[in-house]
Amino acid sequence: MAQIAVDSSPKKKNFLRSPYMLTIALLPIILAAWWLATTVTKSVPAILLPTPESVWIAFPRVLGADGFGDQVLRTLTEIAGGFALGASVGFFLGVLLSSSSRLRAAYLPFLSALEAIPTVILAPIIIAWIGFGIEGKILQAAIACFYAVFITTLSGLGLAEPNAVALMKSLRASKWQTMVKLRIPTALPVIFGGLQLGATTAIIGAIVSEFIGATGGLGYLMLRYRSSFDTAAYWVIIFLFLVIGLVVYLTIWYIEKRFVFWRRIEVTRPDLEKQ
Amino acid sequence: MTTMTQTAPLVRVDGVTKRFGSGDKEMVALSGLNLEVREGEFLSLLGPSGCGKSTALNIMGGLLEATEGTVTFSGEQLTEPNRHIGMMFQQAVMFPWRTTLENVLLPVEIFGEKKKDFIPKAEELLEMVGIKDFRDSYPWQLSGGMQQRAALCRVLLHDPKLLLLDEPCGALDEFTRESMNQELLRLQDYAKSTAVLVTHNITEAVFMSDRVAVMSARPGRLVDIIEVPFDRPRRPDLQTTNDFIKLVAKARQMLELQ
Ligand SMILES: Nc1ncnc2c1ncn2[C@@H]1O[C@H](COP(=O)(O)OP(=O)(O)O)[C@@H](O)[C@H]1O
Ligand SMILES: [Mg+2]
């Protein structure tokens, strides 16, 4: 139901049965397997996969390194800036193309074909054009995430029920009114799916482009740790990306819950929706 | 039984034909429909599924263009939706992100009027159909019947001269349908509007209407019009009287004869 999280009292009892427990239960298993493979049996060389202990020890070293905060901030700025830019352009183009079948016929194949160009190939070109700076990374992340938002917006806007469209028409609503009062709200659940997907690809876009060439950022740090064969530190940053991904997912999920409170049957978080 | 003493009809449907598609795929949904709707009456369009009732209603509401023929509303040719025509569909079409009251006030926003001017009227209507307590609830918290009542309030908010009802109770269960129909009659009378109801339910058509226009299977055309003489307000027990049953039988026969 949409009355998610209205009632908090029975929540504690149910926590043991919530899907989080599955995740939490997996952690010791993964850790144990990791530990067995590296520390105990030494069957995987440390250069491929460091031991859990060494990663644990590397954490304070990496996080406490000089200027580490700046690097994190830089990457986060790239991701956020790229996502904001790409999602806005994607949404705008989705609205634009949904309102005209001629525009759709003309540009949809072209825009979809663009999406087939991998980030890795684009990155050197962008660097050549606008340099190693943060602007290029923002642009890269924007390009990476724009399509997901664009295509979900476009298809979501077509989901309004014929009866609802007829109602708007019978009220002599303008195209714009129908868009704002009916089509966009109807499309929101789908658009949020696109935003989730787009956020992930924005993260990937930013990192890949830092990998190809950058003067700062977490991807740049990873490259440096790799070239000094500091695998443990490298893994620390992988975990950081995991955390960033999780925070971004939860943030968008939280915003979605507020905007799309009226959506009932759907699935995003069945654990919370049941109560 | 037409006499010359009638005032000009509110709606005149003149030789309306509607074809969908073209070439091999052409399909005649409506063929030369002639119909007059009198000011203040309750008229039903009765016919089998797929005979073009909704098509006819949508043309009368200016939602669809006729392939041939014309529709006149209040003496003027109708070519697009009109403020004075309100439409209801089989689904209530409540926007789930709006509360009941916000849904009822939707036309106010579309027309660019001040919401606060219409809140008292909206509340009065909600009260009349018995869902005032739900004004701040969302549609999914309402039953199908309650949603359809809210849709009725929405369509009545601007006192439409003509109500076009496309099986508004079609998706409701039998009991809810009966009380909803009562509500429709009561409010149509209260709003002093003219109503055209599309239905494939013979009893419902006879019970609700002053006249029942019986349509043939596709391509839809008018078979005949049955006058329904019973007094108003109509009470459910009317349906058990002999006269009522006879009229229903007559309508059934017309539908089967074609
Ligand atoms: N937009 C459309 N395009 C093509 N065919 C349609 C369209 N709307 C209705 N029809 C067809 O016209 C016929 C009459 O439809 P309709 O008016 O909905 O019938 P009814 O309301 O009496 O059940 C049906 O066969 C239907 O398939
Ligand atoms: Mg129909």
Q: Tens digits of per-residue pLDDT, B57-76? A: 999 999 999 999 999 999 99
Note if the bond before B219 is cis, omega within 30 degrees. Answer: yes
Q: What residues are in contact with ligand 1 under a 6 Å CB criterion?
A: B 20, 27, 29, 47, 49-55, 218
Q: How far is the CA of B64 from the centre of ligand 2 (A)?
A: 14
Does B112 reach chain A within 8 Å, measured CB to CB? Answer: no
Around Cβ B250, how many Cβ atoms within 10 Å? Answer: 16
The mean per-residue pLDDT over the stretch B76-89 comes to 95
Does B119 reach chain A within 8 Å, measured CB to CB? Answer: no
Residue A270, pLDDT score: 43
Q: How far is the CA of B153 from the centre of ligand 1 (A)?
A: 28
Tell me which of B244 and A7 has the higher pLDDT.
Answer: B244
**Considering CB atoms only, which of B89, B91, B110 is closest to A171?**
B110
A160, A166, A169, A173 alpha-carbon torsion, rounded to 10°: -40
Does B95 reach chain A within 8 Å, measured CB to CB? Answer: yes
Q: Tens digits of per-residue pLDDT, A78-101? A: 999 999 999 999 999 999 999 999
φ and ψ at A213, to 5 degrees? 170, 120
* B163 CA: distance to closest CA in chain A (Å): 11
Residue B13 pLDDT greater than 80, yes or no = yes
Chain A residues in contact with B138 (beta carbon < 8 A): 2, 262
Residue B208 pLDDT greater than 70, yes or no = yes
Surface-to-core class of residue B256, CB atoms within 10 Å of its CB (0-12 exposed, 13-18 middle, 19+ buried): exposed
Retrieve residue B233's tokens: 């307000």
Residue A96, pLDDT score: 96
Instruction: Set out the domains of chain B in order of their start, with CATH numbers.
Output: 9-90+161-256 (3.40.50.300)
* B138 CA: distance to closest CA in chain A (Å): 8
Retrieve residue B114's tokens: 């001040």
Q: Tens digits of per-residue pLDDT, A61-73? A: 999 988 999 999 9
Residue B22, pLDDT score: 87
Does B108 reach chain A within 8 Å, measured CB to CB? Answer: no
Residue A271 pLDDT greater than 60, yes or no = no
- Whole-number Å distance between alpha carbons of A64 and A74: 16
- Residue B215 alpha carbon, nearest atom of ligand 1: 22
Tell me which of A189 and A26 has the higher pLDDT.
Answer: A189
Nearest-by-CA chain A residue for B137? A262
Lowest-confidence segment of A63-67, A160-164, A176-180, A199-203 by average pLDDT: A63-67
Residue A14 pLDDT greater than 90, yes or no = no
Residue A233 pLDDT greater than 90, yes or no = yes
Does A263 reach chain B within 8 Å, measured CB to CB? Answer: yes
Mutation for testing the B interface, residue in A161, A170, A172, A265 having most B CBs under 10 Å = A170
Residue B3 pLDDT greater than 60, yes or no = no
A9, A12, A14, A20 alpha-carbon torsion, rounded to 10°: 130
The mean per-residue pLDDT over the stretch A15-39 comes to 83
Residue A25, pLDDT score: 84
**Interface predicted TM-score (ipTM):** 0.91
Site to probe by mutation for ligand 1, drawn from B25, B54, B201 as the one with most ligand atoms within 8 Å of Cβ, is B54
Residue B199 pLDDT greater than 90, yes or no = yes
Residue A8, pLDDT score: 43
Retrieve residue B148's tokens: 């359809």
Residue B112 pLDDT greater than 80, yes or no = yes
Lowest-confidence segment of A117-121, A200-204, A246-250, B20-24 by average pLDDT: A117-121
Helix (H) or strand (E) holding B17: strand B11-20
Give, using CA atoms, the residue closest to atom 18 of ligand 1. B54
Which of B143, B153, B147 minimizes the C-alpha distance to B123? B153
Lowest-confidence segment of A23-37, B36-50, B136-150 by average pLDDT: A23-37
Instruction: Set out the domains of chain A in order of their start, with CATH numbers.
Output: 68-272 (1.10.3720.10)
B218: which DSSP letter? S
Residue A264, pLDDT score: 66
The mean per-residue pLDDT over the stretch B219-230 comes to 92
Does B106 reach chain A within 8 Å, measured CB to CB? Answer: yes
Residue A13, pLDDT score: 59
Q: How far is the CA of B201 from the centre of ligand 2 (A)?
A: 12
Residue B184, pLDDT score: 92
Mutation for testing the B interface, residue in A6, A159, A167 having most B CBs under 10 Å = A167
Residue A43, pLDDT score: 84
Pairing of strands B85-88, B42-46: unpaired
- Whole-number Å distance between alpha carbons of B90 and A163: 9
Nearest-by-CA chain B residue for A161? B93
Give, using CA atoms, the residue closest to atom 7 of ligand 1. B20
Around Cβ A216, how many Cβ atoms within 10 Å? Answer: 19
In angstroms, the first-to-last Cα distance of chain A is 8
